[in-house]
């Protein structure tokens, strides 16, 4: 049993990140959970298994023989019109990949957690974003959390968005940095969650029902297949407005104060000359560095899919220098995030530098961030590894 330290406010606890996520999922009450262990996401599904064994919940908990099977289980369950959940990491996410494309293509509102971890070879169990970036165009919406609390609310948001759009959602939490660390966090009760996230009641014709037969994932000739891809593209892009609106609603219901609007979060002088753009937990380190620097700001990307291009253009309009930090590589000119930013900001007057950092868990220190800021005004047309 993991230790829970109570502090002054009875609603607040100091919890391991994995347990905070597991408690949130328990209170969301999915109907089916599939599980296969892989470091560093194992604590999430271990806790969910214990909740079931202790009689604290009534979801169907299925231990799979592989991540491929775990993804297949939630696909099948979701196809019958029930709420589902699974979690994975690294090689496990890659093993799920075939099924994840099927889930999005069948428009099933599956929610999964990815505890981000480097992929092999060589073998490495520490954090970077190599796993999720390999699946960035799988059709899953992708949220990135900086803190335990943000992860908690992103999971609740994920179900709301998934079930409103019939698009699957993946919440990304940095392995070990968030999954195994302890932070102060509030876990909304089942009753509170119900106020924001109603019972899932899918529309007739969107799930398998003997009384109303439908085909999911059928054989489509070129013209019809192309239309499904266009629909997926359009609906993903249009979900930007919904995410922003639902994040605002969520903050109101849970009295959660955050600078984020669900898509991005800006910290610092709005007219800063230098802006750092990043995903996930590294944002915390960056915030510490720029506290006293009025010429530097942080633009944290909370939603990587859909990609908030308009938001990014608007919030970087005054910047001269843009530093993009990627925790994954793309074997091309720029990193995955760097490529997106380059395509988004078509302004030759802006100096955009793309750094690849934190691969395989390599530390991104405050000193490293300070060094990037000092050299922000120098030009570079290639990625820089740090």
Q: What is the pLDDT of residue 1?
A: 45
Res. 20: pLDDT tops 50: yes
Res. 10: pLDDT tops 80: no
Question: Would residue 43 count as lying in a domain?
Answer: yes
Based on the fold, state whether residues 318 and 349 are members of the same structural domain: yes
Taking only the tens place, the pLDDT of each residue in 73-102 is 999 999 999 999 999 999 999 999 999 999
What is the CATH number for 222? 3.40.50.970
Based on the fold, state whether residues 144 and 13 are members of the same structural domain: yes
Based on the fold, state whether residues 63 and 184 are members of the same structural domain: yes
**What mean pLDDT do residues 148-156 have?**
98
pTM of model > 0.75 = yes
Q: Are 305 and 236 in contact (CB under 8 A)?
A: yes
Domain count within the chain: 2
Contacts of 366 (CB under 8 A, 6+ apart): 285, 288, 289
Give the pLDDT band (50/70/90) at residue 236.
very high
Based on the fold, state whether residues 148 and 270 are members of the same structural domain: no
Q: What is the pLDDT of residue 164?
A: 98
Our measurement of the distance from residue 141's CA atom to the centroid of its chain's CA atoms, rounded to an integer in Å, reads: 8
Last-in-domain residue among 223, 254, 285:
254
Q: What is the pLDDT of residue 155?
A: 98
Which of 10-14, 176-180, 264-268 is least confident? 10-14
CA distance 113 to 41: 8
Q: What is the pLDDT of residue 244?
A: 98
Based on the fold, state whether residues 241 and 271 are members of the same structural domain: no
Based on the fold, state whether residues 135 and 213 are members of the same structural domain: yes
Based on the fold, state whether residues 230 and 212 are members of the same structural domain: yes
Give the pLDDT band (50/70/90) at residue 5.
very low
Q: What percent of the chain has pLDDT over 70?
A: 97
What is the CATH number for 334? 3.40.50.920
Question: Would residue 259 count as lying in a domain?
Answer: no
Based on the fold, state whether residues 297 and 360 are members of the same structural domain: yes
Based on the fold, state whether residues 26 and 94 are members of the same structural domain: yes
By the 10 Å C-beta count (0-12 exposed, 13-18 middle, 19+ buried), 292 is classed as exposed
Based on the fold, state whether residues 139 and 29 are members of the same structural domain: yes
Question: Would residue 95 count as lying in a domain?
Answer: yes
Q: What is the pLDDT of residue 6?
A: 42
Q: What is the pLDDT of residue 382?
A: 85
Dihedrals φ, ψ of 163, to 5°? -80, -20
Mean pLDDT of the chain, nearest integer: 96
Question: Would residue 153 count as lying in a domain?
Answer: yes
Which residues form the domain of 235?
5-254
Last-in-domain residue among 254, 283, 308:
254
Question: What separation, in Å, do the N-terminal and C-terminal C-alpha atoms of the chain show?
Answer: 39
Question: Would residue 205 count as lying in a domain?
Answer: yes
Dihedrals φ, ψ of 182, to 5°? -110, 135
Cα distances (angstroms) measured from residue 294 to each of 140, 268, 355: 37, 7, 22
Q: What is the pLDDT of residue 348?
A: 84
Last-in-domain residue among 207, 230, 254:
254
Q: What is the pLDDT of residue 8?
A: 46
Cα distances (angstroms) measured from residue 241 to each of 110, 161, 246, 258, 307: 20, 11, 9, 18, 12
Q: Are 317 and 365 in contact (CB under 8 A)?
A: no
Based on the fold, state whether residues 340 and 245 are members of the same structural domain: no
Question: Would residue 288 count as lying in a domain?
Answer: yes
Question: Would residue 184 count as lying in a domain?
Answer: yes
Q: What is the pLDDT of residue 9?
A: 58
Taking only the tens place, the pLDDT of each residue in 258-296 is 999 999 999 999 999 999 999 999 999 999 999 989 999
Res. 32: pLDDT tops 90: yes
Based on the fold, state whether residues 324 and 199 are members of the same structural domain: no
Give the pLDDT band (50/70/90) at residue 158.
very high
Backbone Cα Rg of the chain: 20
335 or 4, higher pLDDT = 335
Taking only the tens place, the pLDDT of each residue in 98-116 is 999 999 999 999 999 999 9
């Amino acid at each position: 049993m993991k230790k829970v330290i109570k502090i002054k406010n009875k609603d607040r606890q100091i919890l391991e990140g994995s347990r905070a996520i597991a408690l949130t999922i328990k209170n969301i009450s999915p109907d089916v959970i599939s599980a296969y262990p892989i470091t560093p996401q194992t604590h999430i599904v271990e806790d969910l298994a214990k909740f079931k064994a202790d009689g604290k919940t009534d979801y169907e908990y299925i231990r799979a023989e592989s991540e491929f099977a775990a993804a297949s289980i939630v696909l099948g369950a979701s196809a019958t019109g029930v709420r589902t959940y699974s979690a994975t990491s690294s090689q496990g996410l890659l093993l799920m990949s075939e099924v994840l494309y099927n889930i999005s293509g069948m428009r099933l509102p599956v929610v999964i957690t990815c505890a981000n971890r480097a992929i092999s070879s060589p073998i490495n169990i520490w954090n970077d974003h190599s796993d999720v970036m390999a699946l960035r165009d799988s059709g899953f919406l992708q949220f990135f959390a900086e803190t335990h609390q943000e992860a908690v609310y992103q999971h609740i948001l994920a179900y709301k968005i998934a079930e409103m759009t019939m698009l699957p959602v993946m919440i990304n939490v940095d392995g070990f940095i968030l999954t195994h660390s302890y932070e102060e966090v509030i876990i909304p009760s089942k009753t509170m969650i119900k106020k924001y996230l109603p019972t899932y009641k899918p529309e007739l014709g969107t799930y398998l029902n003997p009384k109303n037969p439908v085909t999911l994932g059928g054989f489509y000739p070129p013209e019809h297949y192309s239309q499904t891809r266009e629909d997926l593209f359009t609906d993903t892009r249009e979900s930007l407005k919904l995410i922003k609106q639902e994040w605002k609603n969520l903050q109101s219901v849970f009295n959660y104060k955050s600078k984020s609007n669900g898509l991005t979060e800006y910290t610092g002088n709005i007219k800063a000359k230098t802006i750092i753009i990043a995903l996930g937990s590294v944002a915390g380190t960056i915030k510490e560095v720029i506290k006293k620097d009025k010429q530097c700001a942080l633009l944290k990307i909370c939603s990587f899919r859909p990609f908030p291009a308009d938001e990014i253009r608007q919030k970087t309009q005054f910047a001269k220098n843009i530093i993009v930090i990627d925790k994954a590589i793309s074997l091309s000119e720029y990193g995955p995030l760097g490529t997106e930013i380059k395509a988004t900001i078509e302004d030759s007057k802006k100096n955009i530098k793309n750094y690849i950092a934190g691969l395989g868990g390599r530390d991104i220190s405050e000193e490293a961030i300070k060094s990037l800021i000092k050299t922000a005004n120098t030009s570079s047309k290639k990625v820089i590894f740090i």
